[in-house]
Amino acid sequence: MKSVSDLGDLRGKRVLIRCDLNVPLDGTKITDDGRIRASVPTLTQLRDAGAKIIVLAHLGRPKGQVNPKYSLAPAAKRLGQLLGVDVTLAGDVVGDSAAETVAGLSDGDVAMLENVRFEPGEESKDETERGALADKYAAFGDVFVSDGFGVVHRKQASVYDLASKLPNAAGTLVKAEVEVLQQLTQDPAKPYVVVLGGAKVSDKLAVIENLIKTADTLVIGGGMLFTFLAAQGYGVGKSLLEEDQIDTVKGYLADAEKSGKKIVLPTDVIVAPEFKADAPPTVVSADQIPEDQLGLDIGPESAAAFADVIQGAKTVFWNGPMGVAEWEAFAGGTRAVAQALTEVDGLSVVGGGDSAAAVRDLGFADDQFGHISTGGGASLEYLEGKELPGLAVLEG
């Protein structure tokens, strides 16, 4: 992949840049601006080069409909604060307002088009429809920079099709993300520990299958742990359970044993009678979950054991909270894992998405970890061994 510096003199050139500004909102208030902050280095590089910058991004899932709830206005405002300049937000994506906004740019200016997912062609499965929208984007620019790592696993007009219509390069964020993922897949320093949480085993099936081959130890928490417990013959009460995945999980446990790999499961869990923040928590043995309770976090004994495994590693990748981390009574497991990652003597990677939001919510700083990815889904697909369309299309 080319870098921005490989694009030559950009002074006065119109640079279309795909960023990932899909941040969580409470109304119009941004609750985690990590992805916006991650986009600043490449944008600053382009400004310093004297480019006229047009930001393409999405927010939420408006499904091809204009919906003010998903306007990029909060993201444009926050980006302007971080860059120290006004970021003009066009009133549409490829209409008159967008054309007027782009035409009014001076060297070093930054503008943003409205949410690209307001356009039905953006996420269309029809290549012709996507291509027609990408042509409209391309008419606004001279070169394209891909810096939205969180969407490179999507075959979408502003990610994939646009890249084939203009000279292109990867931004510093995408380059950094790919470099870290290469470290995780091409010869990771051992011991290599992968910590997986989140709600469902089915979301992580392919990554588990692939990582059993490369990682030394898989540590399992979150809602998915109950399918693993059920696969061992334990009752899980009212806990989240994917019954249709039990046989698959049995296969993973058998494969790990045959190949000398470890799958570490909790020995205790924190349960409650209902899924509520103020539900009374109780610590029980993982093989003794009461029928009328559901598990909402790993227990303290498991949290300590997980931390020991993580601290002894040279390479750690973590994706998915250990419990319902947004509720204090059920955040202990996630906090323990996060703290352990900060103490790794080697490479520690937080795999984006809910994990990245959780570590910030729990008060950890980004620089306490080796790397916090901006793309949970993209990271997992890379680790599954899949080709990511938004990377494959970039020029070598």
Q: Residues with catalytic annotation?
A: 35, 200, 353, 377
Q: For residues 71 and 62, give the distance between their C-alpha atoms in angstroms, rounded to a whole number.
A: 10
Q: How far is CA 266 from the centre of its chain?
A: 25
Q: For residues 195 and 87, give the distance between their C-alpha atoms in angstroms, rounded to a whole number.
A: 39
Q: For residues 177 and 289, give the distance between their C-alpha atoms in angstroms, rounded to a whole number.
A: 40
Task: For residue 22, say whether it is annotated as part of any ligand binding site.
Answer: yes
Task: For residue 268, say whether it is annotated as part of any ligand binding site.
Answer: no
Task: For residue 59, say whether it is annotated as part of any ligand binding site.
Answer: yes
Task: For residue 354, say whether it is annotated as part of any ligand binding site.
Answer: yes
Residue 294 · residue 240 · CB < 8 Å? yes
Task: For residue 381, say whether it is annotated as part of any ligand binding site.
Answer: no
DSSP 8-state symbol, 181? H
Task: For residue 352, say whether it is annotated as part of any ligand binding site.
Answer: yes
Residues 6 or more apart from 218 whose CB is under 8 A from it?
193, 194, 195, 196, 208, 211, 212, 256, 261, 262, 263, 264
Task: For residue 261, say whether it is annotated as part of any ligand binding site.
Answer: no
144-150-152-158 Cα dihedral, nearest 10 degrees: -40
Of residues 65, 66, 81, the one with CA closest to residue 33? 81
Residue 23 · residue 59 · CB < 8 Å? yes
Task: For residue 58, say whether it is annotated as part of any ligand binding site.
Answer: yes
Task: For residue 60, say whether it is annotated as part of any ligand binding site.
Answer: yes
Task: For residue 35, say whether it is annotated as part of any ligand binding site.
Answer: yes
Binding site as annotated, residues for ATP:
204, 295, 326, 352-355
Which residues are documented as binding site for substrate? 20-22, 35, 58-61, 117, 154
Which residue positions form the known binding site for (2R)-3-phosphoglycerate? 35, 117, 154
Binding-site positions read 20-22, 35, 58-61, 117, 154, 204, 295, 326, 352-355
